[in-house]
Chain A
């Protein structure tokens, strides 16, 4: 067989290697079976997008209404998403503004400052933080953070509470991607800075961070995408009043929380409106994630 002769000519590893297995009948059958399963899987996942589109179709025809300023009164066919969209963006931006410096400092600590055992321990802390379920963050935020804020500026359940909880949740993403990016900076570049007599601060701020900026920015974007898509934690602490975010202490309702709150009783076009808001949310999150991976790939060092 042809596969047999080609196999003899391939002493070095190559991606095409997998094709050089002796194709016996059993392998052909297995290949067909796996291709079938892959097709089934692809179909199942395509259905996710298809259903999202189909279910939101009745409202999508009036998509301009999403960006009007007539308010969110779905029972009266008024589907203005803007207040919730702004709330989502404000919460995610605020969370990123907090998580970015703290996450970056965490990464700098792990890569440049901490002795090995401490760095390992701190990475464990970051991993455990990333592993806390969002509903537990929400519970803690609701019972600890919200009363604290309420004592200072009632009502407590507010944009600020959402920002703080989201910042905690996305901090590990920022830190872990930044650690990977900083580790990928070539040693020679850093040694060069040492040879020039540049101090630790200058080496980190002036050499390492600029060299790793692709990976770091990509991490920021992925973290922002995560913050936008988060439902439970925000739902539990943000107060859920539909209004344009006008201050840190005002209660707001984000897009995800709105879906979770209203799906229980929504019917007809109201239901379509919720699917449409899910579609808008998905597009936003995918855009950020796509930008994030693009930036990361674009700046990768050889």
Chain B
């Protein structure tokens, strides 16, 4: 009898925990969706903010967000792919590769606010870029590089050796094999790394406050300060009384933007890399 009761209690506890987690998740999603949609409109997306963000929209903030993200990806993706290919294809054990891996794993764990400190000290002050989109984008590039490299490298490493043997038998150069065989075969990992990077970079706040700054006008150049969407949400909810409605609408836009970019990244990687693997 006691055994049966214990069994039933345990099962109930497991189901209740799961129900609790799911309920809280739904609570958050419902709050963000309901409050967000009630303020969201076309003019919210197309107008500049007024009255510290209480009225108007987020158009300049969207522009800054996308520019910062573009800078981060323009630096992190080619550099990351190059380092991943080097780690996986061009270096043997004990030749700096292991040190590099250890180093990347260490940096993957560094909190984002610390990247913010670094970005402020190095890009903004030491390199003299000031509070600018460039400082923010480069800081984010440093932040997403370690995880992006390790994900891509894992993908390349998982490509079976017979692919390399095949390329070798076909008389391909190593470079051609990487470009036409190995990277396309590792496309899912590259897409996963890209999605992780975009998610982290778009949602990042702490690393941007002291690098790209708070200015909520449309930036005139990459050396201007620009406010990212996540920073806007933070500012509205903490520093602007009566900014909650706009903050929720911005939160909804932020989540939608991340989802949209993820789909885009997935499609682009599939298209760009997978097409090469089909027979010529």
Contacts and interface: CB of A to CB of B under 8 A. Distances in A.
Contact of A256 (B105, B165, B206): B206
B251 A136 contact: yes
A278 B113 contact: yes
Interface string B183-203: 000000000000000010011
Given A20-B168, A105-B17, A129-B25, A38 B100 contact: yes
B217 to A, nearest CB: 19
Contacts of B210: 263-264
A97 interface: no
Nearest to B6: A201
B17 A229 contact: no
B16 to A, nearest CB: 8
Interface of A: 7, 10, 13-24, 26-27, 30-31, 33-35, 37-38, 40-42, 44-48, 51-52, 55, 101-102, 105-106, 108-109, 113-114, 122, 125-126, 128-129, 131-140, 142-144, 168, 171, 199-201, 204-205, 225, 228-232, 235-236, 256, 259-260, 263-264, 274-275, 278, 281-282, 285-286, 289, 293
A133 B160 contact: no
Interface string B144-161: 011001000000000011
Given A106-B18, A136-B254, A285 B109 contact: yes
A32 B177 CA distance: 17
A35 B206 contact: no
Given A14-B161, A135-B233, A259 B113 contact: yes
Best-surrounded residue of B87, B145, B161 (most CB of chain A within 10 A): B161
Given A109-B17, A122-B18, A285 B110 contact: yes
Given A16-B92, A34-B83, A45-B142, A168 B24 contact: yes
B68 to A, nearest CB: 14
Given A41-B145, A139-B251, A286-B109, A51 B118 contact: yes
Contacts of B83: 34, 37-38, 41
Given A19-B92, A30-B174, A38-B100, A55 B114 contact: no
B128 to A, nearest CB: 15
B101 to A, nearest CB: 11
Interface residues of B, number: 90
A131 B21 CA distance: 15
15 contacts: A24-B174, A30-B178, A35-B86, A41-B79, A42-B103, A102-B21, A133-B205, A140-B28, A168-B24, A228-B111, A232-B230, A235-B238, A263-B117, A278-B113, A278-B114
B278 interface: no
B13 interface: yes
Given A44-B142, A45-B146, A231-B205, A138 B237 contact: yes
